[in-house]
Amino acid sequence: MKNTTKLLTLLMLLVVFQFTSCQKEEVVLIDETPPEGTLTNNSPLTLLLIRTSLNDGNNDDFIDGADCFSIAFPFTITVGDTDFIIENETDYQDAIDFIIGTGGSMNDIEINFPITIVFPNYTEVIVNSQEELNTYAADCSDEIDLVIDCLNFVYPITFFVYDSATEETSTIVVESDEEMFLFLSNLSSTEYISIDFPISVETENGTVVTVNSNQELENLINSCVSDGNTDISELIEYLTTSSWYVAYFFDEGNHTSDYCEYEFTFNTNGTVIANNGTNTVNGNWEVQEDDGHLEVDIDFGNNIPFDELNEDWDLLNATMNIIELFDESDNNEPIDYLTFDRESTICEGNNSQLIEFLTTDSWYVAYYFGDSDETSNYCEFELTFNPTGSVIASNGSDLVDGTWDVIIDNGIEKLVLDFGIDIPFDELNDDWDVLNTSMNEIEMQDISGGGGGTDYLTFDRTTTICENNGSFLEQVLIDGEWLVATYLDDGINETNDYNGYIVNFINDGNVTASYGNNVLNGTWEVLGNSGSLKLVLDFGAQIPFDEFNDDWDVLDVQIDRVELEDVSGGGGGTDTLVFEKI
């Protein structure tokens, strides 16, 4: 029984699941951006795959009388004086054959309680009586059937995953609808996936089809879902009855939020009005038939962003509670999707919280990494984000004006900064992907296209003193004893090899690493200047500190912490070394 509430609400609830049953292969660090053609957590094909993998319990409707859940195996039913233990779907037919052969009816079936019922998103509830079951069944009546049950995947299916936040790849193998559902519904906004084609799909008539690409798979699902039962009069009745809201709009990205809180009224005279209480937009609509398919033509003229809805939309599915439309271009561009439902979409979310954080008090650049650590370029500059969309950076003597905005692009929250040509703040001009936010810290990144690198920008509440240069680093290192807090050798954590060692940087250029009476001697030197500092370490062949022999890029210097990094040339990996003061 594939029945559920509106898809977007369901997808929001899915984050409570933890994907544990799929096979996960070894994680590999890479230095590349995700290729075109990959899927995100809100790509149309991802949502179609989620809908297709929802729990299907239609086969036991003759037992439980409900189409929004199934009964978990095994369970027992009684027909007359005969018990049937139902352990799989093939056992249904045995019960049906018995009922027909004895001249009985499906009403003769009695369920032996307690049982467990499974909802479309695989949540389970124990039911102890027929009265409880009837209550759950009654709740199904007004729900929207978004489940796609006209085809089945042939498992296993392999997915390749790239996480832009960690720059890691992994391989996921799913073995069932439930594993597929939990995996896809828990994708984060920084994860990109691709399917290891070819895969096999079984259609409604039992034919097994080989699918070789995203487009083929999307077309196959759409063709099986496409509603051929709704006629023009029914569709017009649906549209003109009560109000509608945009539940999902995908056009080269998820732009649903552009229409939040807008109520759409389709009038019988062919006009359509979109109103959010303060703004009203007028347009026209028409339903027509083209080559046996129903189309909904929408035209809002040049009204931004409603002009993006101007299209002859093909009907995918229609009920009194949901209308799903799509548009497939003739030049191999991605398919656009437009879904209306009856539930108002509220204009709120993480972006409103980020705006609150930004406009509360002042911020400082805690970390900026372009081609190297350039944090010191912004030392002592206080940033003030005004609610009007202007931002001011001031260090007491210099003042730089710019603009800012928070947007949602393809489901990803972004901070858009523009300081014009003011050096060095022009380096911050970008649409920054927001990774983490709190009242005290905002972490962002920007992944350059065309195989470029990744830039990082972090704001916090602590002013950065303009002392982060070679002499300052030397002073920090000499002043105290240090321990190795972190050492990652090409992503492999080898920190434990240095447990117990105390490191002393001596002002004559010597460095010692002591573990009791065992003392390892080496040398150190600071090279470069602010923005391009290097810490050169050399312990000779003394294990394990010979691993530190390198020219380390200085990422961050604090009174009690120094963070270093070394990127190997020729496509090599990245090592990370962090010292913390004892």
Residues 238 and 221 in one domain: no
- Quote the pLDDT of residue 410: 63
pLDDT tens, residue by residue, 462-471? 887 665 455 6
Three-class DSSP labels, 276-312: CCCCEEEEEEEEEEECCEEEEEEECCCCCCHHHHCEE
pLDDT at 169 over 60: yes
Report percent pLDDT > 90 for the chain. 40
- Quote the pLDDT of residue 347: 64
- Quote the pLDDT of residue 274: 94
- Quote the pLDDT of residue 25: 40
CB-CB contact of 267 with 285 (8 Å) = no
Maximum average pLDDT range among 402-416, 464-478, 536-550, 551-565: 536-550
- Quote the pLDDT of residue 34: 41
Report percent pLDDT > 70 for the chain. 86
- Quote the pLDDT of residue 494: 94
pLDDT tens, residue by residue, 462-507? 887 665 455 668 878 988 899 999 999 988 999 999 999 999 999 8
Final residue of a domain: which of 307, 341, 375? 341
Name residues whose C-beta falls within 8 Å of residue 81's C-beta, 6 or more positions apart in sequence: none
- Quote the pLDDT of residue 113: 94
Tell the burial category of 216 from Cβ atoms under 10 Å away from its Cβ (0-12, 13-18, 19+).
middle
pLDDT at 457 over 90: yes
pLDDT tens, residue by residue, 174-214? 999 999 999 998 898 888 999 999 999 998 888 999 999 99
Task: Kindly state whether residue 465 falls inside one of the protein's structural domains.
Answer: no
Residues 328 and 360 in one domain: no
Residues 78 and 163 in one domain: no
CB-CB contact of 534 with 551 (8 Å) = yes
pLDDT tens, residue by residue, 324-347? 998 887 666 678 889 999 888 766
- Quote the pLDDT of residue 10: 37
- Quote the pLDDT of residue 471: 61
What beta strand segments (E) does 7-64 contain? 23-24, 28-29
- Quote the pLDDT of residue 473: 80
Whether cis (ω within 30° of 0) applies to the bond prior to 34 is no
Task: Kindly state whether residue 319 falls inside one of the protein's structural domains.
Answer: yes
Distance CA 128, CA 135 (A): 12
Task: Kindly state whether residue 2 falls inside one of the protein's structural domains.
Answer: no
Q: What band does 107 get if pLDDT is binned at 50, 70 and 90?
A: confident
Residues 488 and 375 in one domain: no
Q: Measuring CA to CA, how many Å separate 484 from each of 28, 317, 501, 544, 556?
A: 24, 60, 8, 12, 15
Residues 517 and 540 in one domain: yes
Q: What band does 119 get if pLDDT is binned at 50, 70 and 90?
A: confident
Residues 47 and 159 in one domain: yes
Q: Measuring CA to CA, how many Å separate 181 from each of 49, 121, 165, 214?
A: 8, 8, 23, 18
pLDDT tens, residue by residue, 125-159? 999 999 999 888 887 744 445 778 889 999 999 99
- The pLDDT of 319-326, averaged and rounded, is 89
Distance CA 245, CA 309 (A): 13
Mean pLDDT rounded to a whole number for the chain: 83
pLDDT at 3 over 50: no
Residues 259 and 357 in one domain: no
pLDDT tens, residue by residue, 262-275? 999 999 999 999 99
- Quote the pLDDT of residue 216: 92
Residues 312 and 329 in one domain: yes
Q: What band does 26 get if pLDDT is binned at 50, 70 and 90?
A: very low
CATH code, 560 = 2.40.128.270
| Pick from 553, 556, 510, 555: nearest CA to 535 | 553
CB-CB contact of 297 with 286 (8 Å) = yes
- Quote the pLDDT of residue 411: 62
* DSSP state, residue 313: E
- Quote the pLDDT of residue 61: 81
Name residues whose C-beta falls within 8 Å of residue 290's C-beta, 6 or more positions apart in sequence: 312
Structure tokens at 17: 């699941």
pLDDT at 239 over 90: yes
CA torsion angle 461 462 463 464 (round to 10): -120
Number of compact structural domains in the chain: 5
Final residue of a domain: which of 111, 138, 165? 138
- What does 523-568 look like in DSSP terms, one character per residue? EEEEES-TTS-EEEEE-TT-TTGGGG-EEEEEEEEETTEEEEEEEP
pLDDT at 82 over 50: yes
Residue 540 region, left (φ>0) first, then alpha (ψ -120 to 50), else beta? Answer: left
Distance CA 153, CA 199 (A): 8
Task: Kindly state whether residue 402 falls inside one of the protein's structural domains.
Answer: yes
7 or 456, which is more confident: 456
**Inter-residue long-range contacts of 551-555, CB under 8 Å, 24+ positions, other chains counted:** 551/527, 552/577, 553/372, 553/373, 554/373, 554/473, 555/367, 555/369, 555/373
Helix (H, G, I), strand (E, B) or coil at 19: coil
Could you count the other beta carbons within 10 Å of the beta carbon of residue 180? Answer: 23
Q: What backbone torsions phi and psi does residue 184 show, to the nearest 5 degrees?
A: -70, -35
Distance CA 227, CA 100 (A): 33
CB-CB contact of 437 with 355 (8 Å) = no
Residues 252 and 321 in one domain: yes
Task: Kindly state whether residue 574 falls inside one of the protein's structural domains.
Answer: yes
pLDDT at 244 over 70: yes
Could you count the other beta carbons within 10 Å of the beta carbon of residue 168? Answer: 15
Q: Measuring CA to CA, how many Å separate 166 from each of 31, 170, 200, 519?
A: 10, 11, 32, 36
Strands, sheet with 199-203, edge to edge from the N-terminal-most edge strand: 151-154, 199-203, 208-211
Q: What backbone torsions phi and psi does residue 376 show, to the nearest 5 degrees?
A: -65, -20
Cα distance from N-terminal residue to C-terminal residue, the chain:
61
Residues 116 and 209 in one domain: no
Q: What band does 508 get if pLDDT is binned at 50, 70 and 90?
A: confident
Task: Kindly state whether residue 1 falls inside one of the protein's structural domains.
Answer: no
Final residue of a domain: which of 341, 361, 390? 341
Q: What band does 226 get if pLDDT is binned at 50, 70 and 90?
A: low
Whether cis (ω within 30° of 0) applies to the bond prior to 544 is yes
Distance CA 520, CA 501 (A): 10
pLDDT at 449 over 60: no
pTM: 0.49
pLDDT at 11 over 50: no
> Strands 492-493 and 481-489, how do they pair?
antiparallel
Sign of CA dihedral 242, 246, 247, 250: positive
Domain that holds residue 122: 58-138
pLDDT at 531 over 70: no
Tell the burial category of 545 from Cβ atoms under 10 Å away from its Cβ (0-12, 13-18, 19+).
buried
Could you count the other beta carbons within 10 Å of the beta carbon of residue 505? Answer: 24
Residues 379 and 275 in one domain: no
Structure tokens at 239: 């549209």
Task: Kindly state whether residue 268 falls inside one of the protein's structural domains.
Answer: yes
Question: How many helices (H) and strands (E) would you count in the chain?
Answer: 10, 39
Distance CA 297, CA 316 (A): 14
- The pLDDT of 62-91, averaged and rounded, is 88
Residues 26 and 155 in one domain: yes
pLDDT at 103 over 80: no
